[in-house]
Structure 1
Amino acid sequence: MFSIRAAGYGLRRAALGSRELRRGIVTDADVEQARKYCLNQLRHGDYEAYLIRQFVPRSSRDAYDALRTLNLELARLPETVSNPTIGRFRMQFWRDAVNSTFAGNPPREPISLLLSNAVAALASKAGPSSANSLKFWLLRLINIREQNMENRPFTSLSSLEDYAENTDATLMYMTLAAMPLRSVQMDHLASHIGKACGIVAILRGIPVLAAPSQPIQGPSGASVASTRNPALLLPLDVMAEVGLKEEDVFRKGPNADGLQDAVFKVATRANDHLITAREMLQNLQAGRDAGHDYEHEGETEHIYPKAVDGGERASADIQRGFGVLLEAIPAGDYLQRLENVNFDPFKVKSSWKLPWRLWQALRRQEI
């Protein structure tokens, strides 16, 4: 989304000389301002990413900040636009911005400027193939966000997993591409952790999306419209299995019959992915096989060179990219807090222990 803050940034830059305003000329001052903007957005809008970024290699931090800030903008669109058509225009803006940025001609807005700096550094260090991989994942993220602009329920638990693979797991693939780190083991771990994170995001959104929106007041003080319709994104097959109805959640909130049963079933699938990732990590750290094959191997951007020293290489890759795997910690932390309140998402409180748990996970090399 092209925010008012970003627009203001562009207007301030408009006061500079014409040479600096030419598209494609990015100064150190531009990058520093963009860096501050993205960091501030994460601090206030995605605190978990703001914490995890500290454990991502410094050389990849600009890419991480830009990508996570863009993801935040995309995720907010369904709630900040008056109708899906406007949202799709915004999505197209970001798609065009990404194409221009990777072509070396970024729009003068903070996310694109910081991403342009990261892409240039990545291409210089690792060649154009790594930058192309990053672009592939980023465009896939934009496309899947656009497909879900209308906040419709997922048809099945499997379709929710596919969504999580194409959003949260894809964000992790992008971080690995920015390092750059191409590893079947790391992608395999990222897939399971990302699916858990994506499912958790849907559960965390229930109290927000299912609540009635605030009405828009007209000049006379009368309510003239609502900003959005309430939504419940739990899979329809799970809701049917437990007898949960959308309307009951909208009217009764946490007292809707079957809500906790449905949340339990969905949360269990997220926890299963975390358990699988932990078992895989332990196997790989011990020099053993991961335990099962990666279901996406051979797909676009999931083709890997044959490793001669597979066990040692996997251990080295995990050590190098462990900060990326820390995305599992906030997801596991939420699931534990959800279980503590008997799977009532309306009762889950924020966690003040998360920074300590991230540090412990890094120190112990456990997720």
Structure 2
Amino acid sequence: MSDLDSAYAHCETLVRDMDRDRWLATLFIKPPWRPHVLALYAFSYEVGRLREIVSEPRIGEIRLQWWREAIEGERQSEAEANPVSQALLATIARFNLPRRALADLVEARRFDLYDDPMPSLNDLEGYCGETCSSLFRLAAIICADGRDPGGGDVAGHAGCAYAMAGLLRALPWHASRGQCYLPADVLSRNGALVEAAAAGVSSPALANALWELRGRVRRHLQAARATLAALPADVQPVFAPLALVDLWLNAMERRDYDPFRTLIDPPQWRRQWALWRWPGRQPH
């Protein structure tokens, strides 16, 4: 096995162990493209977990800068020594992926390092677009063999639906560290306070704000699904993770749901069944 093959194998193991739902969804992608999509997901995982592994934001900033420079080709020898960056750079070259999109993803992750509130719904959707919609778009380019398959609106809506639902799932975790991704304008419009949300304090006002946000997620999900069939058949499986969003939202709408104490974690068999029933699947 070559060093590059080992790097791609490392990426698959990382995604399988740390983001099993995404790994399961990639099983519907044709084998020639699957390792490259997994390299993207492994990269996203690495830059998304920095807050958990660094002792202070400054160190996280340094690490993000390293990723930006690696993407731009400025740290070739160091990047080749890291299996995730090695596989990512090979994927970028193989499919001529836009480096700007990857650099923007890295830049958006700076928000994670701090406790600043999310100012507005527009800012939240921009964050989701740069961190998640871009992954869908880049994976779609890979599965179109380096061509732009169109459907940018599908990726945009899909990323907002998947990422926003994921952030709502993560409320207990974020509140435990005093962080709040809920947009301040939505909280204010419903009479809720950012400070209370960051501290994990529930209220009827917060429940109304969360209901509004779930409605926004459902509209993004509906918009993505409405245009998915127009994409090439080989590209459609990229969007299989959307099958999980309904599971998460339905669990949040149970009467006993507590946004800061209820863990939204459907059983593995239900997640796999949802993926299997997803209409765009093409098992290989």
TM-score under structure 2 length normalisation: 0.87
Task: Show the counterpart of 1:69.
Answer: 42
Pick from 106, 111, 114 the counterpart of residue 150 of structure 1: 114
Partner of 1:326: 240
Q: How much does 1:279 deviate?
A: 2.7
Opposite residue 87 of structure 1, the aligned amino acid is G
1:50-69 to 2 correspondence within 5 Å? 50-69=23-42
- In the TM superposition, what is the alpha-carbon distance from 1:50 to its structure 2 partner? 1.0
Which stretch of structure 1 is more off in the superposition, 161-170 or 326-335?
326-335
Find the structure with the greater CA-based Rg. 1
SS, match of residue 27 in structure 2: helix
Which position in structure 1 is the counterpart of 2:149?
Answer: 183
| Deviation per residue, 1:9-44 (Å, 9 max, x gap) | xxxxxxxxxxxxxxxxxxx43233323322222122
Aligned residue in 2 for 1:218: none
Alpha-carbon deviation of 1:150?
Answer: 1.4
How do 1:138-217 and structure 2 match up within 5 A? 138-179=102-143, 180-184=146-150, 186-211=151-176
Match of 1:335 in 2: 249
Please report how far the alpha carbon of residue 105 of structure 1 lies from its aligned counterpart in structure 2 after TM superposition. 8.2
1:238 paired with 2:186, answer: yes
For residue 277 of structure 1, what is the amino acid of its counterpart? A
**How many equivalent residue pairs?**
277
| 1:31 corresponds to | 4
**Equivalent position amino acid for 1:183 in 2:** P
**1:146 to 1:364, Cα distance in 2 relative to 1, 3 A:** closer
Q: Give the 5 Å matches for 1:299-314.
A: 314=230
String of CA shifts for 1:262-310, please: whole Å, max 9, x gaps: 21111111111111222334xxx4xxxxxxxxxxxxxxxxxxxxxxxxx
- The answer on whether the counterparts of 2:167 and 2:181 sit within 8 Å (CA) in structure 1 is yes
Work out the CA distance in 2 between the residues paired with 1:274 and 1:63: 25
Is contact 2:11–2:84 with CA below 8 Å preserved after alignment? yes
Counterpart of 1:319 in 2: which secondary structure?
coil
Structure 2 unaligned residues grouped into runs of 5+: none
User: Aligned equivalents of 2:46 and 2:255: distance in 1?
Assistant: 31
Greater relative contact order, per chain length (Cα 8 Å cut-off, separation 6+): 2
Distance 1:343 1:262 in 2: 14
SS in 2 for 1:58: coil
- Structure 1 alignment gaps of length 5 or more: 1-27, 123-129, 212-228, 286-313
Q: Within 5 Å, which residues of 2 pair with 1:267-286?
A: 267-281=214-228, 285=229
Between the aligned partners of 1:342 and 1:140, the Cα distance in structure 2 is 39
Per the alignment, residue 354 of structure 1 pairs with: 271
Q: Which amino acid letter does the alignment assign opposite residue 60 of structure 1?
A: W
- Cα offset for 1:157? 1.1
Q: Distance in 2 between matches of 1:58 and 1:103?
A: 28
- 1:363 CA drift (Å): 6.3
Deviation at 1:99, TM superposition (A): 2.3
The 3-state SS of whatever aligns with 2:55 is coil
Q: CA deviation at 1:140?
A: 1.6
**What are the within-5 Å matches in structure 2 for residues 104-115 of structure 1?**
106-115=79-88
Q: Deviations over 1:216-239 (max 9, x none)?
A: xxxxxxxxxxxxx41111000111
Query: What does residue 88 of structure 1 align with?
Result: 61
C-alpha contact 2:237 2:281 (8 A) present in aligned 1: no
Q: 1:206 to 1:40 in 2, by over 3 A?
A: same
Match of 1:44 among 17, 28, 41: 17
Amino-acid identity (%):
26
What is the CA RMSD across the aligned residues, in angstroms?
2.5
- Counterpart residue type for residue 212 of structure 2: K
1:323 corresponds to which letter in structure 2? P
Structure 1 residue 104 displacement after superposition: 9.3
Contact (CA 8 Å) 1:37, 1:110: kept in 2 or not? yes
Q: Is the 8 A contact 1:62 1:115 kept in 2?
A: no
CA distance in 2, matches of 1:242, 1:38: 42
Q: Contact 2:137–2:155 at 8 Å: present in 1 too?
A: yes
Using the TM superposition, name which of 63-72 and 331-340 deviates more: 331-340
1:135: Cα distance to partner?
Answer: 2.0
Once residues 205 and 278 of structure 2 are traced to their aligned partners in structure 1, the CA distance between those partners, rounded to angstroms, is 35
Q: Deviations over 1:78-135 (max 9, x none)?
A: 2322222111100011112222389798431110222244345x2xxxxxxx41x342
SS of residue matched to 1:320: coil
State whether residues 141 and 170 of structure 1, in contact with CA within 8 Å, keep that contact through their aligned partners in structure 2. yes
User: Is the alpha carbon distance of 1:136 and 1:247 closer, same or farther for their aligned partners in structure 2, counting shifts above 3 Å?
Assistant: closer
- TM-superposition CA deviations, 1:192-219 (whole Å, max 9, x none): 11111121122122110101xxxxxxxx
